[in-house]
Amino acid sequence: MAQTVHPLIALAREAIKVYLETGKVLKTPVVLTDEMKERHGVFVSLKIKGRLRGCIGTFEPAASNVAEEIILNALNSATEDPRFMPVMLSELEDIDISVDILSSPERIKSTNELNPAKYGVIVKNGYKRGLLLPALEGVNTVEQQVDIARDKAGIAERDPIELYRFEVRRFK
């Protein structure tokens, strides 16, 4: 029996497919689910056989709704993640997609207010910002989470940081 695909995942997959086939950006659907109508930052993650293949997103809303955020971030994850070559159409059927809708970041005073299973983290030093999503495989401690976010932002261990946390609604 075929498994039902969540509309947010179907939208991300369709956006990538249309772009890879035509070079055009998928138009925002006329009919939107309740989640698609909201305004939040969104991350789209692509994996093949459990290995990351692309992950790009927005900390805070950059588009008029979640549907537009998903379309843009799905395309960026597939074609603009500097860690990977662009996704090819032949790979698309093997790609597992997840969509994380972020809550508004909340400034916190210390790492004691973090939990890598529950909260994502944003570290900030001047204009440098690094983000790490929550509940990532292999990230089990607050220290690992903050260190990875620092590394992504190019913030040295000795440099002071502002900390923010957020929660996600993850769709697979």
Q: Break the chain into its structural domains and give their ranges.
A: 7-102, 106-171
**Rounded distance between C-alpha atoms, residue 103 and residue 78, angstroms:** 24
Provide the percentage of residues in the chain whose pLDDT is more than 70. 99
**Rounded distance between C-alpha atoms, residue 93 and residue 168, angstroms:** 26
For the cut 80, the answer to whether the pLDDT of residue 110 exceeds it is yes
Label the pairing between strands 51-57 and 106-108: unpaired
Measure Cα distances from 49 to 35, 46, 93, 95 in Å: 28, 10, 11, 8
Class of 7-102 in CATH: alpha beta
Using pLDDT thresholds of 50, 70 and 90, give the confidence band for residue 3: confident
Which pLDDT score is estimated for 87?
Answer: 98
Instruction: For 41-59, write each residue's pLDDT tens digit.
Output: 999 999 999 999 999 999 9
With both helix axes pointing from N to C terminus, report the angle between 7-22 and 66-79 in degrees, rounded to the nearest 10: 50
With contact defined as beta carbons under 8 Å apart, do 54 and 87 qualify? yes
- Give the global pTM: 0.94
Provide the percentage of residues in the chain whose pLDDT is more than 90. 98
**Rounded distance between C-alpha atoms, residue 27 and residue 78, angstroms:** 17
| Beta strands across the sheet bearing 95-102 | 51-57, 42-48, 95-102, 168-171
Instruction: For 130-154, write each residue's pLDDT tens digit.
Output: 999 999 999 999 999 999 999 999 9
**Rounded distance between C-alpha atoms, residue 113 and residue 115, angstroms:** 7
Which pLDDT score is estimated for 83?
Answer: 94
According to CATH, the topology of domain 106-171 is Dna Ligase; domain 1 (3.30.1490)
Using pLDDT thresholds of 50, 70 and 90, give the confidence band for residue 120: very high
The partner residues of 47 in beta bridges, in order of sequence, read 52, 96
Please compute the mean of the pLDDT values over residues 111-126 and round it to a whole number. Answer: 98
With contact defined as beta carbons under 8 Å apart, do 163 and 111 qualify? yes
**Rounded distance between C-alpha atoms, residue 144 and residue 12, angstroms:** 29
Q: Is the dihedral of CA 80, 84, 90, 91 positive or negative?
A: negative
Which pLDDT score is estimated for 2?
Answer: 57
